[in-house]
Amino acid sequence: MKEQLALLEELQTYDARLQEHDLALKALPEKLQVKKNDLAKLEAIVARERAALAEAEKFRRELDLQLKTDESGAARAKSKLTQVKTSKDYMAAQRELEATRKIIGEREEEILKLIDSIDLKKKAIAQMEADTADLAKIVAEEEKVVSAKVAEMRGSVDHERTAREQIAAKVRPDIMKKYSSIRMRRGLAVVPVVKGTCQGCHMTIPPQLFNLLQRGTTVETCPTCARIIYWSEIMTDKKLEQDESTPDTAS
């Protein structure tokens, strides 16, 4: 039974490493995905800013056309001043010319402000595009690194999984079933008992059970946490027995 306990201990070591590998295999792409999401957000912002710039430039073209119309109106109003014959008509033409000139001034001021706004937006978009290109480069490089790491880790996982299955094949089916069930519920399925205390739940086990563990002839579970337990010194004893049974070839 000592051999079965030793196999379970080794099996648990492989299972713990395989679990760590699985977590790492998930974490690497997830970490990369965060940067991909940031890149997508930045690209969306750039797209919105480009659309806003296009609208601003369209509005400026419309203002330019309106300014030309206003300037034509001012030219007509000015022409009327040379054609009127009464002071009343002259005053009306003068008011029309002044109103048109006021509109033209306001329009020109609006266009100048819009030009400044467009220039600032172009500079901001250029900077965002540069930032986007830099981030895209970083994401592409990191994606290559992650792909290489994932491929390497999967190779290690396949190797360790094969070794794990070879060990599992040596475990008795009934013990293997118990181990798998406990591991599914508890995570840690096999723990030593040190000085009469279960190292899984840190509770003291009954003396009679501790005596059974010292014999090492059965597979027992902790009455508190239901994990498979073994006397901590039994594995050391087993190693000593193996060492003693190995012939001395040094001479």
Tell me how many domains the chain contains: 2
Last-in-domain residue among 168, 201, 227 = 168
Pairing of strands 190-194, 228-231: parallel
Shared domain for 30 and 88, answered yes or no, is yes
> Do 19 and 98 fall into the same domain?
yes
Give the DSSP H/E element, type plus range, for residue 230.
strand 228-231
Tokens of residue 10, six digits: 């080794």
Position 133 scores a pLDDT of: 95
Residues 45 and 132 in one domain: yes
Whole-model pTM: value is: 0.58
In angstroms, the CA 222 to CA 58 distance is 78
Task: Report the pLDDT value the prediction gives residue 110, as an integer from 0 to 100.
Answer: 93
Q: Which of 109, 138, 168 marks a domain boundary?
A: 168
Q: Domain ends where: 115, 133, 168?
A: 168
> Is there a contact between 11 and 179 (Cβ–Cβ < 8 Å)?
yes
Mean pLDDT per 10-residue interval, the chain, length 251 residues: 89 92 88 92 95 95 92 85 81 86 91 94 95 94 91 89 93 94 91 94 94 90 94 67 41 30
Q: What was the pLDDT predicted at 238?
A: 46
**CA distance between the termini of the chain:** 34
Residue 251 counted as domain residue = no
Same domain for 50 and 131, yes or no, is yes
Residue numbers of the domain that contains 43 = 2-168
Per residue in 22-47, is it b (16+ CB within 10 Å) or e — as a string?
Answer: eeeeeebeeebeeeeeebeebeeebe
6 and 124 part of one domain? yes
State residue 244's pLDDT score. 38
30 and 143 housed in the same domain: yes
Q: Are 35 and 142 in contact (CB under 8 A)?
A: yes
Q: Is residue 250 part of a domain?
A: no
Q: How far is CA 66 from CA 63, 100, 107, in A?
A: 5, 12, 8
Q: Are residues 78 and 31 in the same domain?
A: yes
131: domain CATH number is 1.10.287.1490
